[in-house]
Structure 1
Amino acid sequence: MGIRRLDWDHWIELDNQWLRFHKEKLARLCGERGSRLCMTAPEAYDAALETMELISEYLVCRYPSLFEFESSTTQKQIRIKATGEIYPIYSDNPLKYAAFLIQDDLALMIEGADGQYYLKAGAIPLPGFWRLEDKFNMPLAEIHTSGNVPQFREKLQLGMERFFQKLTPERAVVRYNYSIQTDGELSWSSSIGSEDTFGLGRKDARLNPSIESLHFRSERQALRRLPRSGAILFTVRTYFLPIIDIAQEPGVPGRLASALRSWPDEI
C-alpha cells in the first residue's frame, strides 16, 4: 500500500498553484456537472459537516495569513483573504465549501452494518480519469475492482480492509501514486473520452502522443479517521506537471524510465 505516517503539521498542504486549483474547482462545482461532482448521502452528512469544521479550524491555525474566521455575522464563516470569499461552516453542502478552501479533492468512507466501508460522500472536481457518480455508494473493494486496479485482489485488498478497521483518530497516514497522462487537462483527461459518456465504456488514451502533451500526474492521498463520526476521510492532492518540465531535473528522466520499465504487463 506504500503508507507512511503523516505529521499533522502537513495534513493539508497549499502551494503557489492554489489559485489555479481554486478557480477550476469553482468553475466545476458551480457548473452544470456540479451536482455529480459533489454528493453526500444522508447518513454521511454529519461526517461531511465534521470535515468542514476540521478543515476550517486547521487552515485558520496553520495558514493565518490566508484564512480567518469571519465574525461580522452570527453564523460561523471562514474568509479567504486572497479573494475575499466567505463560506459558511454549517450548510446543506459542507463538502462543497470545504473543497473550495483547499487544493485537495475529498472523499468520505462510512462503515456499513456489514463491516465494509462505503463511499458515501465526496467532492471530486479534479479526478482526471474517474467519476464520483460511478463509485458513489460502492464498498471499498468494488471501487478498486470496478476500476480494474492491477493486483488489487492479490496484493492490496486484505491489507487495505484491515488497515481501515485499525485506523484511529490519533493517527494520519499518507500515500502517493503516479501516472502518465496524455493531455494537459487537470480536471478531466479528455484523451480517454468525454466525461459525460465515460460510464458507457472507457476509451484508451491516444497512442503515440507528442512529448509536449505528456504530463506527470501524482496524487498525495492523506487518510484519517474523523474523531466524532468515525468516518474515514481521504484528502487527495493532485500534482500535475508537463513531462518536459520535470525532465529538466537532474536524474529524474532515468528514474522515471526505470520505474516505467518495472511495471508489470497488466499496468
Structure 2
Amino acid sequence: MVLLLSVQEYLLRHLPDYLLVLALLSSVVFLTLRRRGTRRSDVPIRRSYNITMGLRKMPFEDWIELDDQFPTYHSIKASRILSRGAQASTTNPTAYGAAMELLEHLVDYLPARYPSLYTRTGTGMRNTYTGETFDITATPLGEDPMQMAARMVQDDLAIMMEGKDGQYYLQAGSILLAGFWRLGDKLGMPLDEIHTSGDVPGYREKLSKGMNNFFGRVMSGGPVVRNNYFMQADDCLAWSHSIGPEDGEQIGWHTSEANKGIEHYHFRSERQTLRRLPRSGGVVFTIRTYFLPITEMAKEPYVPGRLASAIRSWGDDVAKYKGRDRWQDVLLAYLDKEHERQMAEGLEPEKEEYVYPY
C-alpha cells in the first residue's frame, strides 16, 4: 500500500491530468494485452437494424484498443506499407501538421495505456515487442507520418481537414486493413462524396445533414465511438478478394460466389472513434477491425439469434450494400440452427437484454 501511494503521488506531481488516468489504469489492469475474443462491445448487433450515426461518448482512456492479435495485424500492415505504399498510406500537404500532431498524441497515449508494449524515449517511443523505435522529432521524418502511425496501432487511420468552403475533406490516411475500400478512391473527397460514392444506404436521406453538423462541432464534448459490421466471404483481413482483385476496376458483391460453405464466412466489425486534434483542428478517425469466423462468433451466447434477426430486418438498400443475396441461404440456415441449439441447452431469452449493450 505504501508503494502504491508513492506511485500515485509521483504521478500526481509529474503527469498531465489526461495521462494520469491512463497511467493509473495501466499500472493496475494492463499488465499484458488482453486476449482477443467476441467481447460484447465488439459485437454491435441489434435485433432490428436502423440507419443512424450511432455515436456514443467515449472515455479518453478507451481511444486505442490493442489485443494479443497485435503481432498479426502489425505484420500485415508492415507488409502492405511496402507493397501498397502511398496507394494505401499517405498524407496530403494540407494535413501534414495534423498527421504530426497525431503522432505526438500516440506517443503520449500508448506508453501510458500499454506500458508492457511501449516505452517512452527522448524522441518518441519504442515498441518492446518489435524493437522498433519511433523518432517523431527527426527532420525530415523517416517516413510518411501516417505510415509511422500505422505501425503503432492495430487500427486504420484517417484525418479529415476543414476546407475553405466549410466542408471536411479526407486529406490523410493509412487504410491498410479496410477489406472493401481503397484510400486512393477517396483521398481528397469531401465527407458527403465519400459516402455517396460508396452508395452508403440512407446517407442522403438520413445521415448527411447530421454528419456535416456534427463535424462542425465534433469533439467539443470529447471523443466519440461508433460500430458497424459486415459479412465477408473469405478469410483475408486486409482485402476481401471475394469481391474482386484489389486493383480491379470492377469490385463488389456481384463478383462473389453465392452461398459458399459456412466455413468461408467471417464477421467483420469496425470500432470507429472520432476526436478533434486541438492544435491543427483536424478530425482523426481510428478504424479498428475485429475479424472472426462466423462459426466462432456463433458460439457466443445469443449471437446467432441476434444476428439472424438483424439480417432479416435489413431494408433492400442495406441488404444490397452488404451483399445479402450472395450468402443469406447458407448463413441464415446456420445461424438458425445454432440459435435453436443454444435454446435447447438452456439459454434464457429473457436475460438477453441485460447481456448486450446495443
Q: TM-score range by the shorter chain?
A: over 0.9
Unaligned 5+ segments in structure 2 are 1-52, 319-358
Are residues 1:16 and 2:68 paired?
A: yes
Higher helix share: 2
Q: Which residue of 2 aligns with 1:65?
A: 116
Out of 114, 128, 153, the residue aligned to residue 81 of structure 1 is 128
Cα displacement (A) at 1:201: 2.1
Mapped partners of 1:83, 1:233: distance in 2: 25
Are residues 1:149 and 2:200 paired?
A: yes
Higher strand share: 1
Out of 252, 258, 266, the residue aligned to residue 303 of structure 2 is 252
Q: Identity of counterpart residues, as a percentage?
A: 53
Mapped partners of 1:139, 1:53: distance in 2: 26
Q: Which residue of 1 aligns with 2:104?
A: 53
Two-structure CA RMSD over aligned residues (Å) = 1.1
Cα displacement (A) at 1:78: 1.6
The 5 A counterparts of 1:1-267 are: 1-31=53-83, 33-71=84-122, 76-90=123-137, 91=141, 92-168=143-219, 171-197=222-248, 200-204=249-253, 205-267=256-318
Q: Which residue of 1 aligns with 2:345?
A: none
Q: Which has the larger radius of gyration?
A: 2
Kindly provide the amino acid, as one letter, of the partner of residue 19 in structure 1.
P
Unaligned 5+ segments in structure 1 are none
Q: Deviations over 1:123-150 (max 9, x none)?
A: 1111100000000000000000000000
2:268 alignment partner, SS class: strand
Cα displacement (A) at 1:209: 1.6
Please say if residues 244 and 250 of structure 2, whose CA atoms lie closer than 8 Å, have aligned partners that are also in contact: no
Mapped partners of 1:170, 1:85: distance in 2: 35
Kindly provide the amino acid, as one letter, of the partner of residue 251 in structure 2.
R
Q: TM-score, normalised by structure 2?
A: 0.71
Cα displacement (A) at 1:203: 3.4
Mapped partners of 1:173, 1:102: distance in 2: 18
Please say if residues 57 and 224 of structure 2, whose CA atoms lie closer than 8 Å, have aligned partners that are also in contact: yes
Cα displacement (A) at 1:214: 0.3
Cα displacement (A) at 1:195: 0.4
Mapped partners of 1:39, 1:159: distance in 2: 28
Please say if residues 95 and 122 of structure 1, whose CA atoms lie closer than 8 Å, have aligned partners that are also in contact: yes
Kindly provide the amino acid, as one letter, of the partner of residue 202 in structure 1.
I
Q: TM-score, normalised by structure 1?
A: 0.95
Q: Which runs of 4+ in 1 moved over 6 A?
A: none
Cα displacement (A) at 1:65: 1.7
Cα displacement (A) at 1:168: 3.0
Mapped partners of 2:231, 2:308: distance in 1: 12
